[in-house]
A = this chain, B = another copy of it.
Amino acid sequence: MRLRSLLLGSVLSGVLLSSAVGDEGMWLYSNPPRQKLKEKYGFELTDEWLGHLQRASVRFNSGGSGSFVSEDGLVISNHHVGADALQKVGTQKKNYLRDGFFAASAADEIKCVDLELNVLQSIEDVTARVNAAVPEGLSGDEAFKARRKILSEIEKESLKQTGLRSNVVTLYQGGAYHLYRFKRYTDVRLVFAPEQQIAFYGGDPDNFEFPRYDLDICLFRVYENGKPIKVTDYLKWSKAGAADGELTFVSGHPGKTNRLLTVAELEYLRDLSFPYTLTRLRRLDSLLTAWSGRSEENARRAREDFFSVQNSRKAREGGLAGLQDPTLLAKKSAAEQTFRTRLAVNGEFPEAAAAYDRIAAAQQVIAKQFIRHRLLEGEHGFESEAYGIARTLLRAGEERPKPNGERLAEFVDSETASLELNLFSDKPIYEDYEILRMSDSLAFLAEQLGVSDPLVQKVLAGKSPRERAAELIRGTKVHDVEFRRKLYTGGSAAVDAAKDPMIELARLVDGEARSIRKIMDAQNELRNQAHAAISRARFKLEGTGNYPDATFTLRLSYGPVKGYVDDGRNVPAFTTFGGLFERAAAAKQRPPFDLPPRWNKKKDALNPSTPFNFVSTADIIGGNSGSPVVNRAGEFVGIIFDGNIQSLVLDFAYEDQVARALSVHSSAILEALNKVYGATDLAKELQTGRRKR
């Protein structure tokens, strides 16, 4: 599972949650569950322990989490988090994503393309300053502009003062605004990746399932000025790794949850957003299955997108199944009614009492625009690297001359470095693959909006989707990085003069895309204001001791290593290497249950009782992929890589009977590095915390 899946297709984000139960919670580092941990587990959470874990935790901006595991800048994450980087450095001859990679020496480490890592340095509450800048009584549109202005001001000021990447994070859906400052790393080099066959053993059929047997890891090293950085806060490797029943902690970046949306918002997800998203994902699934099947090289070019599509599809299917279960919605509905009654009786929170209807009204406007918004502003109608680049160039020309506070969010000064990293990336772009995606998405656009829609007519320009896509992809020059630089530097004048067909297409669409975005922004501002009112009432009535919905910022979760009972069947907490070989034999090594040749050869060298994967009750969601799992001593005992199928409902509510977080056990990592890959120096670096010199 990964973040990307959960950012697709929806514009909602966190709301305040009612009081947490069991081991529930994706806790803010600035408001950790000290008392709960003490009461239930007798664990004393110190500032020192927490600060260390915070600085050892890493965010992958391609989607996912990781951690420092040596003083020499070594970072561990999942193979599927590293997949984007593996894909971009791969070639027809060197299929690193499929076949794995190992840098035998420092000189062999490969610099990743456009990969950015962030490490959280500080959190500052700026709620009062933000709210003071947005007076009451403004329209949704005006309020949105005022808020965008103050947010970009705070971020720019912080960037200037500290030199750190600075983002104001909206928590409790507008109940609070926190300024997060990150150290930013962009020279990240590939150290080790296993074969995808073992990293993603069982493939799509076993994805989101347990028992599992996946060595879903990838190792990187962070450089500055051409040398590995020196890290003080890295995680020490546990000798024994995670044990059954042991309390463990997860430190990572859960992408997005929807736990206390109102019933109106959930119904919108159930009836419109999720079904649309699934229609699109299944279409892409079909397209990429067929195309990948045609040749090995096709499969390589599409591999990372294909995985991402299949993964998102399954995650969404699980989420929609949750929303279609009347029990879940009945509970949500009852809780909402109870709280609304309490507000009505209390009488002190008229704004909160009125908020529910306001949200429902905003949601209706949003629903009307939703599909057009996804197709035009979300680029679902123009899927290709080229269109994304073309639109960025077009908009950069228009936005960058504006005052910082008036620009579209992605063009403000605090985002410039990340934007340019992506825009000038020299990752490979394949013409045939671009035409495939573009022509399919143009057909999707025509299907969704109707061929006779005036914009569709203009976009297709009297041609079939296939013809039009070929003409655009073959005609554009945006695949050339130098061309991009020239237009970006030259601004609007250079962009206009280029008359590039893909940029001209983006221009054709941009008027409507921008105006729909404006409507959506204004309605979401109104929703945020309403949620903020509910949050304020909740803070007063229930205290501030709770956690906000996930926002792809650093959170702490916890829970014991623990098996479960599935449909009457006992599922133990651990799998082993022995179990892996049994599974492969039972499936007669047929894909996706075949093992890499190296694993078959080394079977006898491996200790079959080595724990491989394990489950815990920690509260996680997409984006947590690659999160370190640590014990009470703060030692690395495993790494999150998935949730079981029952955990997909965590999007909407915590559950600990059958929902489980899945991790690779720390011992499996050492055993595999030593016995299968002969990467003994790397294994030693993990164990000692320093590189062999």
Binding site for B on A (CB under 8 A): 203-206, 267, 270-271, 275, 278-279, 282-283, 285-286, 289-291, 293-296, 313-314, 320-321, 324-327, 443, 446-447, 450-452, 460, 462-467, 587-588, 590-592
Q: Which chain B residues lie closer than 8 Å to A204 at the CB level?
A: 289-290, 293
Bound Cα distance from A313 to B467, whole angstroms: 21
Contact partner, A205, options B293, B446, B590, Cβ 8 Å:
B293
28 contacts between A and B (CB under 8 A): A203-B293, A204-B289, A205-B291, A270-B451, A271-B447, A275-B447, A279-B279, A279-B282, A282-B282, A282-B283, A285-B285, A285-B286, A286-B286, A286-B313, A295-B587, A296-B587, A296-B588, A296-B590, A320-B443, A320-B447, A321-B466, A324-B464, A325-B466, A325-B467, A326-B462, A326-B463, A326-B464, A591-B591
Contact B282 A592 (CB under 8 A): no
Given A285-B285, A290-B314: A324 touches B451 (CB 8 Å cut-off): yes
Contact A450 B321 (CB under 8 A): no
Contact A465 B324 (CB under 8 A): yes
Q: Which chain B residues lie closer than 8 Å to A206 at the CB level?
A: 294
Contact B451 A321 (CB under 8 A): no
Minimum Cβ distance to chain B for residue A59 (Å): 30
Name A293's closest neighbour in chain B (CB-CB).
Answer: B205
Q: Which chain B residues lie closer than 8 Å to A463 at the CB level?
A: 326
Beyond A204-B293, A279-B282, A326-B463, 15 extra complex contacts between A and B, CB < 8 Å: A203-B293, A205-B294, A279-B279, A282-B283, A285-B286, A286-B286, A295-B587, A321-B465, A324-B446, A324-B451, A324-B464, A325-B464, A325-B466, A326-B460, A326-B464
Name A270's closest neighbour in chain B (CB-CB).
Answer: B451
Q: Which chain B residues lie closer than 8 Å to A466 at the CB level?
A: 321, 325
Per CB-CB distance, the 8 closest pairs between chain A and chain B, nearest first, are: A205-B293, A325-B464, A282-B282, A275-B447, A205-B294, A282-B286, A285-B286, A279-B279
Name A327's closest neighbour in chain B (CB-CB).
Answer: B464
Contact partner, A464, options B278, B314, B321, B451, Cβ 8 Å:
B321
Name A326's closest neighbour in chain B (CB-CB).
Answer: B462
Q: Which chain B residues lie closer than 8 Å to A293 at the CB level?
A: 203-205, 592
Bound Cα distance from A38 to B490, whole angstroms: 70
Contact B205 A324 (CB under 8 A): no
Contact A271 B451 (CB under 8 A): yes
Q: Which chain B residues lie closer than 8 Å to A283 at the CB level?
A: 278, 282
Bound Cα distance from A591 to B296, whole angstroms: 11
Q: Which chain B residues lie closer than 8 Å to A325 at the CB level?
A: 464, 466-467
Bound Cα distance from A592 to B299, whole angstroms: 13
Q: Which chain B residues lie closer than 8 Å to A271 at the CB level?
A: 447, 450-451
Minimum Cβ distance to chain B for residue A212 (Å): 13
Q: Which chain B residues lie closer than 8 Å to A203 at the CB level?
A: 293
Bound Cα distance from A296 to B590, whole angstroms: 9
Q: Which chain B residues lie closer than 8 Å to A279 at the CB level?
A: 279, 282
Minimum Cβ distance to chain B for residue A54 (Å): 38
Q: Which chain B residues lie closer than 8 Å to A324 at the CB level?
A: 443, 446, 451, 464-465
Q: Which chain B residues lie closer than 8 Å to A321 at the CB level?
A: 443, 464-466
Q: Which chain B residues lie closer than 8 Å to A291 at the CB level?
A: 205
Q: Which chain B residues lie closer than 8 Å to A587 at the CB level?
A: 295-296
Q: Which chain B residues lie closer than 8 Å to A451 at the CB level?
A: 267, 270-271, 324, 326
Bound Cα distance from A270 to B464, whole angstroms: 13
Q: Which chain B residues lie closer than 8 Å to A447 at the CB level?
A: 271, 275, 320
Minimum Cβ distance to chain B for residue A174 (Å): 28
Bound Cα distance from A74 to B282, whole angstroms: 42
Q: Which chain B residues lie closer than 8 Å to A289 at the CB level?
A: 204, 285, 289
Q: Which chain B residues lie closer than 8 Å to A460 at the CB level?
A: 326
Bound Cα distance from A325 to B321, whole angstroms: 37
Bound Cα distance from A141 to B563, whole angstroms: 62
Bound Cα distance from A270 to B267, whole angstroms: 30
Q: Which chain B residues lie closer than 8 Å to A592 at the CB level?
A: 293
Contact B282 A205 (CB under 8 A): no
Q: Which chain B residues lie closer than 8 Å to A588 at the CB level?
A: 296
Bound Cα distance from A452 to B326, whole angstroms: 11
Minimum Cβ distance to chain B for residue A516 (Å): 22
Interface centre among A283, A285, A447, by most chain B C-beta atoms within 10 angstroms, is: A447
Name A279's closest neighbour in chain B (CB-CB).
Answer: B279
Interface centre among A313, A324, A465, by most chain B C-beta atoms within 10 angstroms, is: A324
Name A450's closest neighbour in chain B (CB-CB).
Answer: B271
Bound Cα distance from A592 to B591, whole angstroms: 12
Name A275's closest neighbour in chain B (CB-CB).
Answer: B447
Name A285's closest neighbour in chain B (CB-CB).
Answer: B286
Q: Which chain B residues lie closer than 8 Å to A320 at the CB level?
A: 443, 447
Name A291's closest neighbour in chain B (CB-CB).
Answer: B205
Q: Which chain B residues lie closer than 8 Å to A590 at the CB level?
A: 296
Minimum Cβ distance to chain B for residue A2 (Å): 18
Bound Cα distance from A204 to B294, whole angstroms: 9
Bound Cα distance from A443 to B282, whole angstroms: 15
Name A281's closest neighbour in chain B (CB-CB).
Answer: B286
Name A330's closest neighbour in chain B (CB-CB).
Answer: B462
Q: Which chain B residues lie closer than 8 Å to A285 at the CB level?
A: 282, 285-286, 289
Minimum Cβ distance to chain B for residue A432 (Å): 12
Name A446's closest neighbour in chain B (CB-CB).
Answer: B324
Bound Cα distance from A289 to B464, whole angstroms: 30
Name A294's closest neighbour in chain B (CB-CB).
Answer: B205
Q: Which chain B residues lie closer than 8 Å to A464 at the CB level?
A: 321, 324-327
Minimum Cβ distance to chain B for residue A334 (Å): 14
Bound Cα distance from A465 to B267, whole angstroms: 16
Interface centre among A267, A294, A467, by most chain B C-beta atoms within 10 angstroms, is: A294
Minimum Cβ distance to chain B for residue A634 (Å): 39
